[in-house]
Chain A
């Protein structure tokens, strides 16, 4: 049709480019889940007793919970006993430099286009690469260490900073929060931990690449970011996964804690294997992400570009507890073929003068279903709360669906809450308007598509925006028209 739309269509019709399996030797737990498996995981990670107890408690809670069925998604029931809960690439010793890394692993990264050393040299991004479940390389640690920033895998943090982990883990997403959060709390194998001390502005974007590697391995990441008073951090999370037939379960938990005047910016590009055109295979992505603005004037900002996964169930949320705190949520979700996405956010206004902003853009194509589900809640004592939400959907094709489920609960009369949503295809009147002004149809469509997602894409950090554009293939600026 034209450049702008065809790039989207290319993305939509293209096969998954990042599907390949690395032949890494994996150290695996037997299939299934019971207390012994949890002990096995905890043992492998050489965890202290309190951590094991915490995991077991979560597991016992999980046993009592039921699989949530309220989301607008359909998928065959997951057999939780048919999953390998622990798998680590064989690694005999800790590495000091990237050169020591398994060459197979290096090639995997290169195929992904995120060669570690190149990133290290050129982009100034510290990468804590996670292949399957164990961190194999952490760069820039020393440089960050000078500022007092802790950026390491969560298993290391459990060993080295138990007081911080004890204090914050489960403080934002309690182990009883929901079915998948409980499961994650019981069996999480790795993830990142980030601690920004008082008054420190993190000089670089922190980034972790998650990859799912061994066959039949559920990935249970746990990320915890704590920003102390007056600090700032921008954290990037990006995902690509190998092509495979069996559905894989991913149930991550991300917790953010922002103290007085602190700011956390969390960006995600998610491009896991969405299944083939018939809807076979693909990742199940059931993620619990939540941040708490614990201190006054704190800010948490979520930005996500969701293009992958067969089923997505994800609601990055903000609890605005501190007075004058700010929560933001920017999202672009693209679904195609048989993909299903039920995503959105929760903004819980508890403190006074809190503000939140939600911008969600959904693009559905093929026979996919894209839902926005959000909650804006203003508690009784949250005076002068302000919220603005906008969720727009663009439909490409007549067999797909776009759904909006915004819940708004206001219990304070000083609150000002606005919500607006639209669903449309590219309007003929819009094109006509451009045509009238001498812009040809091709350019007009490009312009409109550009504009549709721009508000969100603009929120991504520069380095990541490039990545996002590559993955999305909605090449916005400069490549259309």
Chain B
């Protein structure tokens, strides 16, 4: 039996064992997955990312029980001692491993949130990303809505401790297919920071299909950092869907350094006036790593501002894909939307596919996009060489400075230093430690 059929059977089985409030959503999603299937190359949004090949191998579906002695602490981020830590193992939220420190931060299993005081929020916002991502992959996650989590930030609360989210797969015995799901609700005038990272234990191949939906209310502020540095057998589809329902601020940074096939869907739906969102990304890949960043900015209301800046360094036989869409709807006047994508190709075998797309239906707007693809700047190299700096150091310096534009958008010092170290290590492995940071 093919992997897809096994997955479908498993989803159907869920329908009989789980009789909770989420079941109608699950079965609707399964029906939609049945209809849409796994996106083929013909699917415009998946043209360069051949996701279907991930379904050619068998997986352990990640809703099974987990090993409590799993050493996930390996992946802990700096300053975890003062952070809220939420741990997903094989796609299922693990309350025992997680720590919630901050008052005002509510963490509940989704099934529970769906019937308590947050029921209306859950029913209103859960699955909103499907309106923007009309493909089987998104539906597939929803059809496995088990072990997900609801994160609520209370009104007018500034969450002092960052929220670290770990998505860990236990691949010591077999391949894992994990589908974590999160719904975040940030109430009016609240502020919170998320840092998300991914890790694998063992060397089996993984496929993580993650969906996180974030509802941002009036005057709320969110910082969101995503760090992807998993092993070369770990594939990931990571969807982060922000829905700004009130005037609010979102700052998102995506750092992709390693993995097999990594696809990031980052959506900003601006449903209120005066929203601001910043989206930054850095992908620094080598070997056969494939990183695909798809972003959607939907300006539904006037006076919004969005900034998007993605940079890529591609080495080995790696592939970088960038697809940025900006929609400006009718009547969404006075929009400012900027988008830029810059790529450096380090090897003969690396490739870049970029498509900065604008769809504009209002006239009083300022939208621009740009992209560049090229090599390291020859003049810059010459400048440094002529000052007695070795070629290796010069390259290392230039690449590091290329990445700094994005790095400096990571506001918490500890996280920025942590990412910087990962990048410096990578540069060190290329050019020697000629340029210690």
**Chain A residues engaging chain B, CB cutoff 8 angstroms:** 70, 380, 393, 395-425, 427
Identify which of A401, A403, A412, A424 contacts B366 (C-beta below 8 A). Answer: A424
On whether A410 and B351 interact (CB within 8 A), knowing A415-B373, A420-B369, A423-B365, the answer reads yes
| A419→B367 contact, CB < 8 A | no
Contact status A418-B363, CB under 8 Å: no
A248 to B296, CA, bound (A): 37
Q: How far, in whole Å, are A416 and B379 apart by their CA atoms in the complex?
A: 14
| Contact across chains for B373 and A422 when beta carbons are under 8 A apart | no
Q: List 25 A-B contacts (CB under 8 A).
A: A398-B333, A398-B364, A401-B359, A402-B358, A403-B357, A403-B360, A405-B355, A406-B356, A406-B357, A406-B371, A408-B371, A411-B351, A412-B345, A413-B347, A413-B375, A415-B373, A416-B372, A416-B375, A417-B372, A417-B374, A420-B368, A420-B371, A422-B368, A423-B365, A424-B366
Cα(A424)–Cα(B355), bound, Å:
20
The reply to whether A398 and B356 contact each other, CB–CB distance below 8 Å, is no
Task: Contact check, A415 vs B354: say whether CB atoms are below 8 A apart.
Answer: no
B202: interface (CB < 8 Å): no
B126 in the interface, Cβ–Cβ < 8 Å? no
Given A402-B358, A406-B356, A419-B371 in contact, is the A397-B348 Cβ separation under 8 Å? Answer: no
Are A418 and B372 touching (Cβ within 8 A)? Answer: yes
Q: How far is the CA of A405 from the CA of B354 in the complex (A)?
A: 10
A410 to B318: give the CA distance in the assembly, Å: 12
- Asked if A398 contacts B348 (CB within 8 A), the reply is no
Q: Which of B356, B361, B373 contacts A417 (CB 8 A)?
A: B373
Cβ–Cβ < 8 Å partners of B367 in chain A: 422-424
B360 to A413, Cβ gap below 8 A? no
Task: Decide if B370 touches A410 in the complex (CB within 8 Å).
Answer: no
A415 touches B363 (CB 8 A): no
A398 contacts B363, CB within 8 Å? yes
Binding site for A on B (CB under 8 A): 44, 330-331, 333, 343, 345-348, 350-375
Bound Cα distance A426, B364 (Å)? 9
Report the separation of the CA atoms of residues A193 and B391 in the bound assembly, to the nearest whole angstrom. Answer: 55
Q: Indicate which residue in B330, B348, B353 contacts A413 across the interface (CB closer than 8 Å).
A: B348
Flag if B370 contacts A421 (CB, 8 Å): yes
Q: Which of A396, A416, A421 contacts B356 (CB 8 A)?
A: A421
Given pairs A400-B363, A402-B360, 16 additional interface contacts (CB within 8 A) = A396-B363, A398-B330, A402-B358, A403-B359, A407-B355, A410-B352, A411-B351, A412-B345, A413-B345, A415-B373, A416-B373, A416-B375, A417-B371, A420-B370, A423-B358, A423-B368
Check B368–A421 contact: CB distance below 8 A. yes
Kindly provide the distance from the CB of A423 to the nearest chain B CB, expressed in whole angstroms. 4
Asked whether B371 lies within 8 Å of A404 as measured between CB atoms, the reply is no
A419-B110 Cα distance, complex, nearest whole Å: 44
Assembled-state Cα–Cα distance A421/B359 (Å): 12
Taking CB atoms, residues of chain B closer than 8 Å to A415 are 345, 373-374
Q: Which residues in A have their C-beta under 8 angstroms from that of B371?
A: 406, 408, 417-420
Find chain B residues with CB under 8 A from A406 CB.
355-357, 371
- Nearest CB in chain A to that of B333: its residue: A398
Chain B residues whose C-beta falls within 8 Å of the C-beta of A414 in the assembled complex: 375
Cβ contact within 8 Å between A395 and B360: yes
Residues of B within 8 A of A380 (CB): 348
Contact between B360 and A401 (Cβ–Cβ < 8 Å)?
Answer: yes
- Compute how far the CA of A393 lies from the CA of B366 in the bound complex, rounded to whole angstroms: 11
- A420 CA to B367 CA in the complex, in Å? 11
Q: How far is the CB of A189 from chain B (nearest CB, A)?
A: 34
Min CB distance B359 to A, Å, is 5
Minimal Cβ-Cβ distance residue in A for B353: A409
List of A residues within 8 angstroms of B359 by Cβ: 401, 403-404
- Indicate which residue in A397, A404, A424 contacts B369 across the interface (CB closer than 8 Å): A404
What is the bound-complex CA distance between A400 and B359, given in angstroms?
11
Write out the residue numbers on chain B whose beta carbons fall within 8 Å of the beta carbon of A413: 345-348, 350, 375
Q: Which of chain B's residues has its CB closest to A372's CB? A: B358
Q: CA A413 – CA B372 in complex, angstroms?
A: 12
